[in-house]
C-alpha cells in the first residue's frame, strides 16, 4: 500500500512539474547597451523581443505598480500609475517570460488598454 501511494505521489509530482507555467514578469534595473540603443524615450510603451522573452519598456511619470494576470490565451499586464503630478518621465523596464499557452499581450494603464508603440525583435 505504501509503495502504491509513493508511486502515485511521484507520478503526480512529475505531471504537475511538467504543467507548470513559465509565465513571469519581473522589474529589472537596466538593459545592456545594445538593447538600450533600441529604446526610444519618446515612446510610452515598447517591447523588445529576445530569444527567451520580452523586455517591456514603459515610460511614465509617477510611481508605477504592476500586476500580471491571464485570461484564456491573453496575458494582461496592468500598470497603475500613482502620484503622476511630477513632470519627470521615468523608464520602467520589465522582463516577461511566456509559455506556449499565451500568445496575446494586453497592456492596461489605469484600467485602459493601450497598444505598443513599437515592437522590436
Q: Where are the domains of the chain?
A: 23-120
Question: Taking the model in full, what pTM does it have?
Answer: 0.79
pLDDT confidence bin for 8, thresholds 50/70/90: low
Q: Which residue would you say has higher pLDDT here, 99 or 86?
A: 99
Share of the chain above pLDDT 90, in %: 64
The predicted-structure confidence for 66-90, as pLDDT tens digits, reads as follows: 999 999 999 999 999 988 776 788 9
11: pLDDT strictly greater than 80: no
3-state SS string for the chain: CHHHHHHHHHHHHHHHHHCCCCCEEEEECCCCHHHHCCCCCCCCEEEEEECCEEEEEEEECCEEEEEEEEECCEEEEEEEEECCCCCCCEEEEEEEECCCCCCEEEEEECCEEECCCEEEC
pLDDT in tens, 38-74: 999 999 999 999 988 999 999 998 889 999 999 999 9
Amino acid at each position: 500500500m505504501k509503495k502504491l501511494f509513493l508511486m502515485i505521489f511521484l507520478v503526480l509530482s512529475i505531471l504537475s512539474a511538467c504543467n507548470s507555467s513559465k509565465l513571469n514578469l519581473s522589474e529589472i534595473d537596466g538593459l545592456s547597451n545594445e538593447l538600450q540603443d533600441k529604446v526610444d524615450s519618446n515612446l510610452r510603451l515598447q517591447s523588445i523581443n529576445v530569444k527567451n522573452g520580452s523586455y517591456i519598456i514603459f515610460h511614465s511619470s509617477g510611481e508605477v505598480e504592476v500586476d500580471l494576470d491571464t485570461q484564456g490565451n491573453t496575458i494582461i499586464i496592468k500598470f497603475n500609475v500613482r502620484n503622476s503630478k511630477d513632470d519627470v518621465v521615468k523608464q520602467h523596464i520589465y522582463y516577461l517570460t511566456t509559455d506556449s499557452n499565451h500568445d496575446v499581450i494586453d497592456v492596461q494603464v489605469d484600467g485602459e488598454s493601450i497598444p505598443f508603440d513599437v515592437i522590436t525583435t
